[in-house]
Chain A
């Protein structure tokens, strides 16, 4: 009985692989119906399945495959031509076999599903030409030849399935025998023990349990750790012999690690091979014409990762067909070919595999996405106004988002792209979208080659070491005091760093981790680790950075399962443990997104003022009892100057600023409530019509859009109107007037906008 079980297992594995290839072959047959090699190969695959199930007593499976074989026999003898109907029928046959096989896998029985109808259909299709022309008898010679060919073919197939998954579905026809003269009649009386024969002695590959590979992988990881420790301890040793040994150990370990890693690599085609079928079925369901092109099928990825991206990829492809590609007539009307094209591209880039799914469809509808996001409450109205097109496109990855008007059985149920995103992120990857209206969209997945060993940056915070995956780090900046590189600034309670003219949201690691800050290190000596996650950048302030190291990721115990901020832990060269910080979660927990909204409207377009009701306003404290708002479009920079840097030229305050002279305007005095000492050093640099001045304020409070109860003011210099923000009355400043005030003070000094910025 045990032998029977082993046989069954082999049968299941081989059949499943065969089915995947079958799908692919049927589809290529559809595009080149004259390809005899393909027909032969399909025939052989079916025949193998049939042969074994006769042996294992699976009658239902046998009758289905038998019917399919009959039909294929007709195709092979060219009494019947390949057409769409036949392909569909044969694909149905594949599904039927799949159903039965999975039922056998679960219950060891064929299941209750009935395929009589399918069998009848298959046979009817096969019968069609027979009614017209009579089948011919085979001579003895021909039968013998056929047998020989069959045996050869079986062996070729065995080889092909043995070396799978490396074998690509298109590689077997080269050994296919010339079978022009075969006729369907003899095929039904094929001797079945043929399929049991195994090629002896020449196998160059073998099946290995994945668990064993995982175990080897772990051991290799341990060895790497031990090696790191040995290298560290022996650094100072003088013994030449010993040093030679450690070097040898170092080398061998690296090679071993690489080798073990390779055993787990699989070509991406193992998942891609099912897409031609998916695309075909979907395009028929959607009544669209879609062509699929795939490049870089041979790109290799770790097995676990291949499995992890299977569902996300399927989802993306489905979405591209359902939402992306337009109906044929709409395409023609837009001057595109009726047939849409989906391109899948895979390539390796550093330690990553990049997978792109490109469609030439309609592209994303920005307005619709914005509207839908508002409807679903995913974003606030003011946020919607200020978001860039790219940011809006990224909303499709937000949970609970869908633009499909009607829910189809393909997509549009609102669970989708967010699941894609989260499952890709779970394996340390990223997903992004680029889309142009009318030209299509590109979805880009960035997947790490392997999960187990990653390069990481070691840093310390509050006297403790942490590791951050290097893939997310773009640069390291020492805070320093030099204005040339950048400086620390605050908007409200939020820290920012001005890096090469851009505001970078900051977070302090010790605050996020709620640990005591290291007081012995001054702010200037601390380092900002600039992190880029999905195009959103933020800085993490840490005490010190050390080195980069290849670390082995070890999972944390169940007791710490709730702490998603840690991606795991690792053992460093000195035997100490360092926690690995997940930058994605870190940014999310720190609510860095909110911080980004404060600067989400770059002050680039210095054009005229837009309707003030919808504009973003910077709220500042002018005196202890006056709050004011400045249109953000006029705001160039937020600065904080030490008071002693401020100089006076003929009763006007100025400051040397970025190689020019900046005129300071005392806002309180301008709007008629002078008398308070300006202590904070906060300056809002505003510009209008080519002139720039600095407005002295007490504090910078917030950026908002929620301005209500606006009441215009007449005859009050420097103030346009009053309004209410967050329950408090504020004065909307007349920037033009204030700039003129400044310019009137020392006209010859007012800086040119271009020079100052």
Chain B
């Protein structure tokens, strides 16, 4: 067991957006939903897809594709909502597909490579070598936070 600056999570929820594969700590994921009806928010930053009514709570949905400056998905109804819990409430990440929950082997978890460019640079906490390929472990808090800063700028 090698001690790292930030301990790798024990389990990751995997999902894909474009050609990227991501993982989020399972403890930060609240639930996974299929495509939801959304209320569009005029004037909002581009990455805000809209608002979802999550059993009486209003949750902001953030498009992962927009966040990563990727082309829009051809069929939005195929997309999934990954509801993540943040410090002050929940948010939804709209992703192409949600994969599985995998248990990590800590020895295959590497800290964030230096060479990453924005916007990935801030989001990625570490990289995990899974059987199928590289998984980027990202922090949902950052995915949503940067939005806000961009808005201010």
Contacts and interface: CB of A to CB of B under 8 A. Distances in A.
Interface of A: 222, 225-226, 464, 513-515, 554, 556-563, 565-566, 569, 571, 575-579
Contacts of A562: 45, 148, 151-152
A561 B91 CA distance: 14
Contacts of B41: 560, 563, 566, 579
Contacts of A557: 58-60, 89, 91, 144
A561 B145 CA distance: 11
Contact of B56 (A222, A556, A579): A222
A575 to B, nearest CB: 6
A560 B53 contact: no
Given A557-B59, A559-B62, A562-B151, A515 B144 contact: no
A579 B41 CA distance: 8
A559 B60 contact: yes
Given A562-B148, A575-B53, A577-B53, A464 B39 contact: yes
B1 to A, nearest CB: 36
A514 B39 contact: no
B51 A577 contact: yes
A571 B58 contact: yes
B48 A571 contact: no
User: Which one of B56, B59, B152 has the highest number of Cβ atoms from chain A below 10 Å of its Cβ?
Assistant: B56
B53 A464 contact: no
Interface in B134-153: 144-145, 147-148, 151-152
B58 A559 contact: no
Nearest to B40: A464
8 contacts: A464-B39, A557-B58, A557-B60, A559-B60, A559-B91, A559-B147, A560-B48, A562-B151
B60 A513 contact: no
Contacts of B91: 557, 559
Given A225-B56, A571-B53, A561 B43 contact: no
Nearest to A513: B42
B60 A576 contact: no
B39 A577 contact: yes
B42 to A, nearest CB: 4
A579 B51 CA distance: 9
B43 A514 contact: yes
A555 to B, nearest CB: 8
A558 B41 CA distance: 14
B24 to A, nearest CB: 17
Contacts of A558: 86, 88-89, 144-145, 148
Given A559-B151, A562-B151, A569-B58, 13 more contacts: A513-B43, A556-B58, A557-B58, A557-B144, A558-B88, A558-B89, A558-B144, A562-B45, A565-B43, A571-B56, A577-B39, A577-B52, A578-B39
A579 B50 CA distance: 11
Contacts of B89: 557-558
In the A-B complex, the 8 residue pairs with the closest CB atoms: A513-B42, A557-B60, A562-B151, A577-B39, A559-B60, A577-B51, A515-B42, A559-B147
Contacts, number: 73
Nearest to A557: B60
A579 B37 CA distance: 15
B39 A563 contact: no
B44 interface: yes
A557 B62 CA distance: 11
B13 to A, nearest CB: 21
User: Which one of A225, A558, A569, A575 has the highest number of Cβ atoms from chain B below 10 Å of its Cβ?
Assistant: A558
A561 B152 CA distance: 9
Nearest to A577: B39
Contacts of A571: 53, 56, 58
A579 B38 CA distance: 12
Contacts of B48: 559-560
A619 B86 CA distance: 56
B53 A563 contact: no
Interface string B91-104: 10000000000000
B102 to A, nearest CB: 28
Contacts of B40: 464, 515
B60 A556 contact: yes
B58 A576 contact: no
B89 to A, nearest CB: 6
A500 B52 CA distance: 43
B31 to A, nearest CB: 17
B59 A560 contact: no
Contacts of B62: 559
A229 B57 CA distance: 15
A585 to B, nearest CB: 11
Contacts of B45: 559, 562
Given A225-B56, A561-B148, A569 B43 contact: no
User: Which one of A515, A561, A566, A571 has the highest number of Cβ atoms from chain B below 10 Å of its Cβ?
Assistant: A571
A555 B59 CA distance: 10
A517 B24 CA distance: 40
Given A558-B148, A561-B148, A577 B43 contact: no
B57 to A, nearest CB: 8
User: Which one of A559, A560, A566, A571 has the highest number of Cβ atoms from chain B below 10 Å of its Cβ?
Assistant: A559
Contacts of A566: 41
B58 A577 contact: yes
Contacts of A559: 45, 48, 60, 62, 91, 144, 147-148, 151
A560 B45 CA distance: 8
A528 B51 CA distance: 27
Contact of A576 (B53, B56, B86, B152): B53
A557 B145 CA distance: 11
Contacts of B44: 560, 563
Interface string B19-49: 0000000000000000001011111110010
User: Which one of A225, A565, A575, A577 has the highest number of Cβ atoms from chain B below 10 Å of its Cβ?
Assistant: A577
A579 B59 contact: no
B81 to A, nearest CB: 14
A561 B43 CA distance: 12
A464 B40 CA distance: 8
Contacts of A575: 53
Contacts of A556: 51, 58, 60
A394 B92 CA distance: 44
B43 to A, nearest CB: 6
